[in-house]
């Protein structure tokens, strides 16, 4: 492990030299590439440097114990030694996690798709609740939300809503949301007070850059149409809405959120690129899973991952057996407790795979 850490530190030093090189500074592509690589390993290097400093202090404290000391000083050194040993253990565990290969998508923006599934109007209302939950969580992280496409219902829910979240590390925290979310509650439309079970599905896609996924113009069919609101009535007499069809995969994306056709096409293109990229990733993941199954991962979209039980104010994440009696807070976007538990489970799983 320490040979790997020393190699990472050496590379970090080399990158700092390169970032000061006039030839690199004048080359935007290289500058961006080296800056990202430096940023990606900075925490590992800082933690490793702290580890080396604490290790030196630990060796000094051990040497002092071999000297002739008065009882009070010896007790002080022993106490210091105990604290340093504990810190060394913490740093070693952190370094093991930092050396685990990172998901290359973790720092990316995300495109989220929330759809009402089983349960009709109640499922659409729940889809709206999930959208608001993710919006509030994004706001708490300082991320920006941009709606791309929405199909609202008359009761205030959504048959489907697609939105982008722009923010560093958004995918690393939201990738676990992929799957079916189940709600148990008494719907407002239920006069008998019976608890109903409905579901909504969530897809979280990393934004794909043009350099990562090449889509040729000849492979896209572009259709334009007038925007429509709930019930299908026309809300825009201009042909500003855009539908893109990726012919090789059959993936279709529509966008009518903006009044400008150009802006709608730009937004639709982002979603199309993310979906095509995701399709290739899913196929690669399926091959990987055939030989080794990940404990958490991004998960099967059809898998029921979480239940929101309103009568008992309870949320259960079925993948890691986590139950929290704070449903009201979670729907307000306070997702940190769940997300941190899922990240820890993923890290533990990766560490196990490394051993």
Contacts of 249 (CB under 8 A, 6+ apart): 276, 279
> Concatenated DSSP letters for 294-318?
-SSSS--TTSEEEEEETTTTEEEET
pLDDT in tens, 189-228: 666 678 888 899 998 888 876 555 677 888 888 888 876 6
Q: Tell me, yes or no, if the two domains 2-99 and 110-350 fold the same way.
A: no
Domain boundaries, the chain: 2-99, 110-350
pLDDT in tens, 252-293: 888 887 778 888 888 888 888 888 888 877 776 665 455 444
Both tokens assigned to 85: 């040993």
Assigned fold of 110-350:
Alpha-Beta Plaits (3.30.70)
**What integer pLDDT is reported at residue 72 of this predicted model?**
84
Distance CA 204, CA 134 (A): 11
pLDDT at 302 over 60: no
Q: What is the CATH number of domain 2-99?
A: 1.20.58
User: For the residues 135-143, what does the mean pLDDT come to?
Assistant: 95
**What integer pLDDT is reported at residue 213 of this predicted model?**
67
Phi/psi class of residue 284: alpha, beta or left (left: φ > 0; alpha: ψ in -120 to 50)? Answer: alpha
**What's the predicted TM-score (pTM) here?**
0.66
Contact 327, 307 (CB under 8 A): no
């Amino acid at each position: 492990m320490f040979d790997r850490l020393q190699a990472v530190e050496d590379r970090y030093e080399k990158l700092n030299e390169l970032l000061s090189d006039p030839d690199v500074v004048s080359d935007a592509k290289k500058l961006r590439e080296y800056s990202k690589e430096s940023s990606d390993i900075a925490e590992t290097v800082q933690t490793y440097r702290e580890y080396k400093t604490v290790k030196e202090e630990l060796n000094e404290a051990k040497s002092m114990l071999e000297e002739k000391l008065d009882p009070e000083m010896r007790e002080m050194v022993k106490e210091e030694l105990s604290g340093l040993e504990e810190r060394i253990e913490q740093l070693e565990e952190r370094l093991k996690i930092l050396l685990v290969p990172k998901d290359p998508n973790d720092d990316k923006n995300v495109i989220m798709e929330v759809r009402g599934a089983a349960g009709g109007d109640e499922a659409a209302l729940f889809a709206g609740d999930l959208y608001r939950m993710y919006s509030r969580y994004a706001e708490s992280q300082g991320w920006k939300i941009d709606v791309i496409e929405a199909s609202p219902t008359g009761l205030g829910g959504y048959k489907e809503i697609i939105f982008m979240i722009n923010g560093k590390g958004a995918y690393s925290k939201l990738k676990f949301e992929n799957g079916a979310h189940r709600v148990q509650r008494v719907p407002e439309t239920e006069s008998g007070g019976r608890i109903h079970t409905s579901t909504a599905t969530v897809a979280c896609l990393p934004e794909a850059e043009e350099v990562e996924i090449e889509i040729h113009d000849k492979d896209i069919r572009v259709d334009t149409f007038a925007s429509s609101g709930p019930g299908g009535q026309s809300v825009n007499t201009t042909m500003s809405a855009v539908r893109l069809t990726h012919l090789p995969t059959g993936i279709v994306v529509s966008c009518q959120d903006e009044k400008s056709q150009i802006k709608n096409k730009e937004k639709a293109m982002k979603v199309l690129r993310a979906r095509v990229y995701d399709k290739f990733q899913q196929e690669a993941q399926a091959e990987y899973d055939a030989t080794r199954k990940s404990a958490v991962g991004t998960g099967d979209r059809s898998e029921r991952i979480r239940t929101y039980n309103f009568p008992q104010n309870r949320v259960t994440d079925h993948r890691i057996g986590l139950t929290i009696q704070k449903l009201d807070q979670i729907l307000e976007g306070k997702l940190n407790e769940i997300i941190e538990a899922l990240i820890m489970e993923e890290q533990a799983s990766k560490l196990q795979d490394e051993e």
